Structure 1
Amino acid sequence: MIKALWITLFAAGLAACGSSGGSGTSSASSVVSSSPSSESRSSASQSSVSSTPVTDECPQGRHIVGYFPDWQGEVADVQFSYLTHINYSFLLPNADGGLQPLGVAGENRLMALVSMARPAGVKVGIALGGWNDGDDSAFVALAQEAQTRTRFVQAVTDFVVEYELDGVDMDWEYPSSDEEAANYLLLMQQMRESLDALPGEHFLTAAVVGAGDWAGRYILPEVFEIVDFLNLMAYDNTSEPHHSSFNYAIAALDYWSARGLTREKTVLGVPFYGRPSYTAYRQYVANSLDNACVSEVGNDFYNGIISVREKAQLVQSRTCGIMMWELTQDTTDDTSLLRAMWEVVEGEPASYFCPES
């Protein structure tokens, strides 16, 4: 198809310029009712390209997951060598199960992202939904009926095939009733079956609230068996001044562990921005290099290099991955938060030294 050919030719052009090429994902569009066991999915995923070490605690390796938005930043600035997964954000659903178009600019950004990620061995998925100003009504509506669930799953599967993607990240924020919880489970089961029907391995993940039964309780334990892992959004906590403190990270891990989520399927999320201003980390550093090593400026709270290293150490002992929202808010030099967390995960020496460290 045209888009798949565009991606292949783009990747070939990169190889001709000195980048190493990679094989694309095979295409298919059928949806079947049977799916491999979680054990076979886990074993197959071990053969995928990943820079992170495989251990008994983390048989799939440790994941380093970044979200890349469709509205800002440049694909060429992404530090692919420090990532295992990138989720392009966001593809929005309609209440009837259809998908809102990305538009020409969005399509081009996604195709460029896939073309540059593939030679680096980084998996690219599509993130579905997002916060969307708190409007999850389309998800609520489409998940209620079998017909619209099927239409949505097929549309997403076709999208994965068309753009040669490696997986799907469900960002329904958030199921908030027993009925929605049951429909979310049905939707995730059907999505898993559809992705497993495609040739090759395709991941299914989901972004969930950091901690708290106000939303977390409606992600049923049966979902844990379906996904490859959950991305815990341990930020935007409004119950304390620092929206993403170390204590909140621990609370998030404790909450989901108590719910039955295994270490292997736990990925801790960190923010690359501060609140309440939502200033990007890179802007703090642009204002003053000293801001790279602290976690608050004025009335703003965020995660600087020291905070990110502490959370990456926590990840080493309690999870199998770390995630960040979002990549374009980072710097691309030695003060990079992504680079700092990668160094901890990989056991590499620090490239930037803070006065306190």
Structure 2
Amino acid sequence: MKNLRTIIILLAGAALAACSKQQVSSPEVKKTAGRAMKTSSTPSDKVVVAYIAGSAGNVQAITDSIDFSIVTHVNLAFFDPGTNGEMMANGEPLFADFTAQQINYVVTKAHAAGRKVLPSLVGANPAVGSGNIVELFRPANRTNFINHLADMVTYFNLDGVDVDVEGNQLAAIKNEGNYAGFIAALRNKINPLGKLVTVATPGPNSTTIPNSSIAYFDLVNIMSYDIGYGSSNNHSPYNKAVDDIQYYISNGWPASKLVLGLPAYGFKPTVGTGTRSYKSIVAEYGSAAAYADEYNGYKYNGINTIEAKTQYAVENIKGVMLWELSQDAPGPYNLIKAVGRKINPSAP
């Protein structure tokens, strides 16, 4: 996202998964107004991935607000390559929503807490003037591109690469048969350096990553939101999250790699229009909105659904992911805190 890229991502990437189903109610989670519940640290066998959208601004303030007892991985969105796959110039990233100073700040804070930071590659809408990602995935170009990625990761002491190529670009790469080969080559390059390779992919549709690439990823973040583009339904219902998880497991995707994506925003009146952050909705309407999935026409995920989804994920897969931190509410209605209350349900 460049400038309005935060909004564009929400309206584009996973919205292609227009396979909305009749909604069912989320399992009831008891509401306690102003509850001060103990938050358990994320256990070592689970993950909580949270994105920071650099285009949203206030990177330092967002980073300072992160509870690293809960968040295990921070993905910085987004980074794009140059025409020849180059990722940096004069110590600064090219076509990125972050400066070198911002990257270093996030890395320093996260590493001090023993957590990981990954740059997220491309997103749904490449930066104007950046390189053609379809061409860069081709065998003739991929080695050079991957070398540049590895150099950037090493330079900033990042912990891997999150591949977030979506939509028409991903479809074109898949049609050329170049996706899995690129991911395999990327892993072969950076995994020996102790770096991760992760991915963001929508619920099952034509732009889901190919099964042949799954073996090369450490984490697979399922973007189970923006469902039913143009409809008046909730874009991220509980039952769709369950369906997505079960689809991938039944098709051989390892549960130990799957991470359920949670949204911190909603739409009004239809999916793809009137985007509004959860933070803004709660700031205006208060606790009644914080625990609901619909308020004054806005449809989103409130605390009850976030907790229910997290509990289901904890019981069935690797963990959860939040898009994205600038849209989360501070204080008692914070969604990451809600995740934390469920990420370790066996704790006293």
1:155 aligns with 2:148: yes
- Measured at CA, do residues 153 and 237 of structure 1 come closer, stay the same or move farther in structure 2, by a change above 3 Å? same
Q: 2:106 aligns with which of 95, 109, 113?
A: 113
1:283 aligns with 2:283: no
The answer on whether the counterparts of 1:95 and 1:141 sit within 8 Å (CA) in structure 2 is: no
Give the AA of the match of 2:336. Answer: L
The answer on whether the counterparts of 2:160 and 2:196 sit within 8 Å (CA) in structure 1 is: yes
1:122 aligns with 2:115: yes
2-side partners of 1:70 and 1:140: how far apart? 24
Shift of 1:186: 1.1
Shift of 1:179: 4.6
Shift of 1:229: 1.5
Q: SS in structure 2 opposite 1:268?
A: strand
Aligned to 1:140: 134
Give the AA of the match of 1:297. Answer: Y
Q: May I ask how many residue pairs the two structures share in their alignment? A: 289
Please list the CA deviations of residues 280-334 of structure 1 after superposition, one character each: whole Å capped at 9, or x if unmatched. 1111111021211111123321111001011011102221110010011112312
- Measured at CA, do residues 311 and 179 of structure 1 come closer, stay the same or move farther in structure 2, by a change above 3 Å? closer
Q: SS in structure 2 opposite 1:182?
A: coil
Aligned to 1:207: 200
Shift of 1:123: 0.6
Aligned to 1:69: 53
2-side partners of 1:140 and 1:178: how far apart? 6
The answer on whether the counterparts of 1:209 and 1:233 sit within 8 Å (CA) in structure 2 is: yes
Q: 2:187 aligns with which of 181, 188, 192?
A: 192
2-side partners of 1:179 and 1:316: how far apart? 31
Q: SS in structure 1 opposite 2:178?
A: helix
1-side partners of 2:246 and 2:176: how far apart? 21
2-side partners of 1:296 and 1:125: how far apart? 33
1:182 aligns with 2:207: no
1:223 aligns with 2:213: yes
1:265 aligns with 2:257: yes
- Measured at CA, do residues 348 and 68 of structure 1 come closer, stay the same or move farther in structure 2, by a change above 3 Å? farther
1-side partners of 2:108 and 2:80: how far apart? 23
Gaps spanning 5+ residues in structure 2: where? 1-39, 88-92, 268-272
- Measured at CA, do residues 254 and 80 of structure 1 come closer, stay the same or move farther in structure 2, by a change above 3 Å? same
The answer on whether the counterparts of 1:125 and 1:169 sit within 8 Å (CA) in structure 2 is: yes
Shift of 1:209: 0.9
Q: What TM-score do the two structures reach when normalised by structure 2?
A: 0.77
- Does 293-302 or 171-180 show the bigger shift? 171-180
2-side partners of 1:274 and 1:69: how far apart? 17
- Measured at CA, do residues 341 and 333 of structure 1 come closer, stay the same or move farther in structure 2, by a change above 3 Å? same
2-side partners of 1:84 and 1:154: how far apart? 26
The answer on whether the counterparts of 2:161 and 2:196 sit within 8 Å (CA) in structure 1 is: yes
- Measured at CA, do residues 250 and 152 of structure 1 come closer, stay the same or move farther in structure 2, by a change above 3 Å? same
Shift of 1:178: 7.4
1-side partners of 2:157 and 2:46: how far apart? 23
- Measured at CA, do residues 137 and 296 of structure 1 come closer, stay the same or move farther in structure 2, by a change above 3 Å? farther
The answer on whether the counterparts of 1:79 and 1:332 sit within 8 Å (CA) in structure 2 is: no
Aligned to 2:228: 238
Aligned to 1:166: 159
Aligned to 1:302: 300
Q: SS in structure 2 opposite 1:231?
A: strand
Give the AA of the match of 2:180. Answer: L
1:249 aligns with 2:241: yes
Q: SS in structure 2 opposite 1:82?
A: coil
Q: SS in structure 1 opposite 2:84?
A: coil
Aligned to 2:310: 312
The answer on whether the counterparts of 1:168 and 1:203 sit within 8 Å (CA) in structure 2 is: yes
CA RMSD of aligned residues (A): 2.5
Aligned to 1:322: 320
Aligned to 1:28: none
Give the AA of the match of 1:163. Answer: F
Give the AA of the match of 1:230. Answer: V
2-side partners of 1:90 and 1:83: how far apart? 19
Give the AA of the match of 1:300. Answer: Y
Shift of 1:63: 0.7
Shift of 1:235: 0.3
Give the AA of the match of 2:249. Answer: S
Give the AA of the match of 1:67. Answer: Y
The answer on whether the counterparts of 1:142 and 1:152 sit within 8 Å (CA) in structure 2 is: yes
1-side partners of 2:282 and 2:338: how far apart? 15
